[in-house]
């Protein structure tokens, strides 16, 4: 078997056998297959797709490219939550500490920014000292001691995903059902949780552009979850406009901190309450979602949720003082509306690309990130705006803000009529 034959087969639209997929994953993880050969194969998968059997085999090979954790000695229920990616999506950072306040163990392995979407790992690493590369022993101990740990893919856990994920980010291969399903589910299988909630996004700022594609992705991930003995629930969310107000790594930590202290944007609140309530139900803490949502709000208002987040940051080496003094970029530039009316559209793809242009994401694998760069939205869909009123602020250390301002203005469509209600959660599968 050799990689050139495997690449040609997929290039020609043929089905790959289990052994061929396993060979690719094993040898690329070891480094005997080069980045340019892996890029060619990943691009061929992107273009020609994979059937369910191939996707499952890719996922399982990636999950077993390192160790897989057994956390059954900690509890019968270990929770994880993952988003298929979005712009301004800080839901994980808020939901996970909330869940841990109920004594439900949280074992979460996240990723870095991918394409136009931000990554939980980059966001957490914007907190000085926060370690996302814990050893497996530290990961497990933290779950035992404080009930929660949030880490990235490591050389021990899902190392194939770490490499393929970083590669996809810089070769325009992010929007692919088999690549997303195998990436997400390999991490979930390796990290040892047995109940997971997946926030599957669709729309302009998501990899799945339509709700139908988000449903197809959900079905494949749920099926892989079922095969691996993981109870999986998918919540389909609308990502046509960004979630919340802040986009960018430290800006999203700031918004998550505010949310954990009780000051939440309405869209953030709706999704946080829904996902948390579902997790509580899966953890046998009550079948009534409305009652669960009340308990979620209680644990935010009594300070437990923020306290748990601080405990997590401290335990993983982060500077907790930073949480009340988050660094800002040198330039904060106001973008004013040139029109009057209601916001009809706020294109999350343009906002995500603009955040990357400001330095919040990567163009090459090794690119550094400017953690302080990003955008703070002041107006969202259905808001009224007058001429000269602030639409958004750009946070940047670069000097390209005039160009980015023009782009952000094109993200806003303003019209006379107030649009119909904007749906945040379309369905739960
Ligand atoms: N999140 C992941 O972990 N992988 C993807 O491919 C997309 C979102």
Q: What's the 389 CA to ligand 1 centre distance in angstroms?
A: 36
CA 362/CA 252 separation, integer angstroms:
17
Cα end-to-end distance, the chain, whole Å: 40
Domains and CATH numbers, the chain: 3-49 (1.20.970.10), 79-323 (3.40.1030.10), 331-415 (3.90.1170.30)
Of the candidates 162, 216, 213, 217, the residue with the CA atom closest to the CA atom of residue 187 = 162
Sheet of 79-83, strands arranged across? 148-152, 106-110, 79-83, 195-202, 231-238, 425-428
- Rounded to the nearest angstrom, the distance between the alpha carbon of 200 and the centre of ligand 1 is 10
- Closest CA relative to residue 171, chosen from 44, 351, 4: 44
Report the distance separating Cα 70 and Cα 74, nearest Å.
Answer: 9
Where the chain has pLDDT below 70, the residues are none
Q: Does 186 sit in the ligand 1 pocket, CB within 6 Å?
A: no
Q: Are 137 and 154 in contact (CB under 8 A)?
A: no
Work out which ligand 1 atom sits closest to the CA atom of 174.
6
* CA pair distance 215, 222, nearest whole angstrom: 10
Q: Ligand 1 atom 3: the closest Cα is on which residue? A: 184
Task: Pick the atom of ligand 1 nearest to 119's CA.
Answer: 1
- Find out whether 231 and 81 touch, Cβ atoms under 8 Å: no
Closest to 336 measured CA to CA, from 374, 393, 382? 393
Sign of CA dihedral 291, 92, 126, 376: negative
* 180 in contact with ligand 1, CB cutoff 6 A: yes
CA diameter of the chain: 65
Ligand 1 centre from 161 Cα, in Å?
Answer: 9
pLDDT of residue 367: 85
Atom of ligand 1 nearest to the CA of 110: 3
Atom of ligand 1 nearest to the CA of 183: 4
Ligand 1 atom nearest residue 168's Cα: 6
Q: Are strands 231-238 and 195-202 parallel, antiparallel or unpaired?
A: parallel
CA gap 167, 163 in Å, rounded: 6
- Joined tokens for residue 88: 């301004």
Q: Which active-site residues does the annotation give?
A: 82, 161, 168, 183, 187
Helix (H, G, I), strand (E, B) or coil at 395: strand
Each residue's pLDDT tens digit, 370-427 = 999 999 999 999 999 999 999 999 999 999 999 999 999 999 999 999 999 999 999 9
User: Residue whose CA is closest, atom 1 of ligand 1?
Assistant: 84
Closest C-alpha residue for ligand 1 atom 5? 180
The verdict on the CB of residue 184 being under 6 Å from ligand 1 is yes
CA–CA distance, 397 with 400 (Å, rounded to integer): 9
What pLDDT is attached to residue 105? 97
| Element containing residue 232 per DSSP (H, E) | strand 231-238
Q: Report pTM.
A: 0.95
What's the 378 CA to ligand 1 centre distance in angstroms? 28
Q: In 3D, which of 103, 106, 110 has the Cα closest to residue 89? A: 110
Note the pLDDT of residue 366. 79
Q: Which residue, judged by its Cα, is nearest atom 2 of ligand 1? A: 184
Decide: 111 in ligand 1 pocket, CB within 6 A. Answer: yes
Q: Which atom of ligand 1 is nearest to the CA of 184?
A: 3
CA distance 144 to 291: 28
3-state class of 398 per DSSP?
coil
Query: Tokens 């990502």 map to which residue?
Result: 239
Q: Is the CB of 84 under 6 A from ligand 1?
A: yes
Evaluate: CB of 114 within 6 angstroms of ligand 1.
yes
CA of 335 to the centre of ligand 1 (A): 32
**For residue 125, how far is its CA from the centre of ligand 1 (angstroms)?**
18
Q: Which two tokens stand for residue 20?
A: 């061929």
For atom 8 of ligand 1, the residue with the nearest CA is: 84
Q: In what helix (H) or strand (E) does residue 332 lie, and over which residues does it extend?
A: strand 331-336
Residue 1 Cα to ligand 1 middle (Å): 29
């Amino acid at each position: 078997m050799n990689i050139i034959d495997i690449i040609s087969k997929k290039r020609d639209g043929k089905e790959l056998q289990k052994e061929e997929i396993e060979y690719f994953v094993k040898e690329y993880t070891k480094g005997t297959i080069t980045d340019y050969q892996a890029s060619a194969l990943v691009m061929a998968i992107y273009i020609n797709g994979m059937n369910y059997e191939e996707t499952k085999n890719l996922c399982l090979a990636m999950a077993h490219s390192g160790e897989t954790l057994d956390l059954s000695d900690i509890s019968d229920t270990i929770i994880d939550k993952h988003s298929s990616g979005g712009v301004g999506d800080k839901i994980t950072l808020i939901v996970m500490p909330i869940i841990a306040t109920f004594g439900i163990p949280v074992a979460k392995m996240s990723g870095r920014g991918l394409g136009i979407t931000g990554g939980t790992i980059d966001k957490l690493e914007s907190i000085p000292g926060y370690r996302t590369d814990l050893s497996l022993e530290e990961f497990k101990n933290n779950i035992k001691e404080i009930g929660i740990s949030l880490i990235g893919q490591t050389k021990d856990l899902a190392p194939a995903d770490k490499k393929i994920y970083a590669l996809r980010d810089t070769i325009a291969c992010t929007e692919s059902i088999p690549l997303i399903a195998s990436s997400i589910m390999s991490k979930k299988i390796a990290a040892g949780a047995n109940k997971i909630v997946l926030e599957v996004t669709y729309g302009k700022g998501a990899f799945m552009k339509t709700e139908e594609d988000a449903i197809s992705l959900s079905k494949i991930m749920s099926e892989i979850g079922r095969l691996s003995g993981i109870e999986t629930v998918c919540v389909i969310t609308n990502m046509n406009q960004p979630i919340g107000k802040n986009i960018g790594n430290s800006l999203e930590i700031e918004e998550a901190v505010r949310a954990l202290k009780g000051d939440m944007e309405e869209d953030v609140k709706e999704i946080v309450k829904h996902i948390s309530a579902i997790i509580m139900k899966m953890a046998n803490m009550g079948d009534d979602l409305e009652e669960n949502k009340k308990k979620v709000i209680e644990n935010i208002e009594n300070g437990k949720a923020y306290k748990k987040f601080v405990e997590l940051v401290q335990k993983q080496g982060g500077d907790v003082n930073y949480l009340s003094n988050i660094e800002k970029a040198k330039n904060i530039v106001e973008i004013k509306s040139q029109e009057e009316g209601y916001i009809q559209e706020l294109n999350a793809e343009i906002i995500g690309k603009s955040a990357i242009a400001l330095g919040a994401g990567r163009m090459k694998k090794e690119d550094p990130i400017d953690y302080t760069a990003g955008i703070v939205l002041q107006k969202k869909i259905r808001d009224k705006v007058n001429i000269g009123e602030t639409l958004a602020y750009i946070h940047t250390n670069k000097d390209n803000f005039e160009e980015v301002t023009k782009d952000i203005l094109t993200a806003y469509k303003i019209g006379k009529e107030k649009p119909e209600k904007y749906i945040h959660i379309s369905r739960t599968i």
